[in-house]
């Protein structure tokens, strides 16, 4: 493999313990250059800890690997210079303006001339007209845009986003993702953790981690297909009764209301169809097959994983 084709992230066997708890357990992860990679998993699954090991903020207790061709154990300082890391919390000075916050960040990175770097970043992210607005007065969407601006001002090669759109309205989320795809098209590699299934579907590839272990990875289509689930939909006036009757029957792993319909999911398709057909007939519901969603897979994987913090 040539240097140009080397993955942006290639880590193997990462382990991180805090006291007696193993938060990340023998995790290996590969992200190709220019890829938008989704990082999914329940709360407490080790996503943030993994991201911090990747960007050099935490040293793994075991494991090895490279980020942008740099060793994660020996070259953490150099990795930090090449990475933009956007955390879950808004971490800028709320009594400073957008421009003043970016001037502060430019100083931290030693950017010269700082004024040009700030002006270019303001223009790139559509913040020029708001540059004099106090950060504390911004809406969630504009705070998010300021945080992204600060992360990319030093022109990193890798962007790490830890649940960046939590609490942001759908329009701002879509605009944020349009910006991420624009940056990726210019060569930036992105690893983003998210709980939103629509955001995961906008990634080139997803990686699902459950309680410290990588469970599955691939494109959305590959992950859904690999889960081997069957999804049926019941519709009619008897869905409430059907939901109660279905729980615990052979083949039924999930029962979830969706508006006026009932989604029933399971790994054993034949047993699921038999159970659902019987219940649909008894409750006056119609029964149809549907495509399995990424959310169905997500819930299934969570149910099969063991909580290592319990």
Q: Which two tokens stand for residue 6?
A: 């080397």
pLDDT digits (tens, 9 = 90+) for 134-185: 999 998 889 999 999 999 999 999 999 998 887 788 888 899 999 999 999 9
Alpha helix segments (H runs only) across the chain: 47-54, 76-82, 98-109, 114-124, 140-152, 170-185, 197-200, 220-227, 239-246, 269-283, 294-304
Alpha-carbon 147 to chain mean position: 17
pLDDT digits (tens, 9 = 90+) for 35-78: 999 999 888 889 999 999 999 899 999 999 999 999 999 999 99
Reported as a pLDDT band with limits 50, 70 and 90, residue 306 is low
pLDDT at 305 over 70: no
User: Which strands sit side by side in the sheet containing 189-193, from one edge to the other?
Assistant: 83-86, 158-162, 189-193, 36-40, 205-210, 213-218
- What integer pLDDT is reported at residue 4 of this predicted model? 54
0.85 exceeded by pTM: yes
Q: Which domains does the chain have, with CATH numbers?
A: 3-223 (3.40.50.300), 230-291 (3.30.70.100)
CA atoms within 13 A on the CB side of 148: 27
pLDDT at 307 over 70: no
Q: Which two tokens stand for residue 304?
A: 């099969």
Q: Which two tokens stand for residue 23?
A: 């938060």
- What integer pLDDT is reported at residue 243 of this predicted model? 96
3-state secondary structure at position 264:
strand
- What integer pLDDT is reported at residue 140 of this predicted model? 86
- What integer pLDDT is reported at residue 14 of this predicted model? 97
pLDDT at 3 over 60: no
193's CB contacts (< 8 A; 6+ apart) are 38, 39, 40, 41, 47, 48, 51, 161, 162, 163
Rounded distance between C-alpha atoms, residue 14 and residue 28, angstroms: 6
Q: Which two tokens stand for residue 194?
A: 């998210």
Portion of the chain with pLDDT greater than 90, in percent: 83
pLDDT digits (tens, 9 = 90+) for 100-139: 999 999 999 999 999 999 999 999 999 999 999 999 999 8
Q: What is the DSSP letter of 173?
A: H
- What integer pLDDT is reported at residue 1 of this predicted model? 40
- What integer pLDDT is reported at residue 191 of this predicted model? 97
Relative to beta strand 36-40, strand 189-193 is parallel
């Amino acid at each position: 493999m040539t240097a140009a084709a080397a993955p942006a992230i290639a880590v193997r066997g990462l382990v991180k313990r805090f006291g007696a708890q193993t938060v990340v357990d023998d995790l290996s992860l590969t992200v190709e250059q220019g890829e938008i990679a989704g990082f999914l998993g329940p709360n407490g699954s080790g996503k943030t800890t993994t991201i911090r090991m990747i960007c050099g903020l935490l040293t793994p207790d075991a494991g090895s690997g490279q980020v942008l061709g740099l060793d994660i154990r020996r070259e953490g300082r150099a990795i930090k210079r090449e990475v933009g890391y956007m955390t879950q919390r808004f971490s800028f000075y709320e009594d400073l303006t957008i421009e003043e916050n970016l001037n502060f960040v430019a100083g931290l990175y030693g950017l010269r001339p700082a004024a040009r770097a700030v002006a270019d970043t303001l223009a790139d992210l559509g913040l020029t007209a708001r540059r004099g607005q106090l950060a504390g007065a911004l809406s969630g969407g504009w705070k998010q845009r300021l945080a992204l601006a600060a992360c990319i001002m030093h022109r990193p090669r890798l962007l790490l986003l830890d649940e960046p759109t939590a609490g942001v309205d759908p329009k701002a989320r879509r605009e944020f993702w349009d910006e991420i795809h624009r940056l990726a098209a210019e060569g930036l590699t992105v690893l983003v953790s998210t709980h939103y299934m629509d955001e995961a579907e906008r990634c080139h590839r997803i990686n699902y981690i459950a309680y410290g272990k990588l469970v599955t990875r691939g494109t959305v289509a590959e992950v859904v297909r690999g889960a081997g689930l069957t999804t049926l939909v019941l519709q009619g006036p008897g869905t409430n009764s059907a939901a109660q009757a279905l729980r615990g029957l052979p083949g039924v792993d999930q029962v979830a209301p969706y508006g006026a319909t009932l989604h029933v999911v399971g790994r054993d398709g034949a047993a699921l169809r038999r159970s659902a057909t019987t219940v649909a007939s008894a409750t006056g519901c119609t029964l149809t097959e549907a495509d399995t969603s990424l959310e169905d897979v997500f819930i299934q994987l969570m149910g099969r994983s063991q909580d290592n913090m319990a």
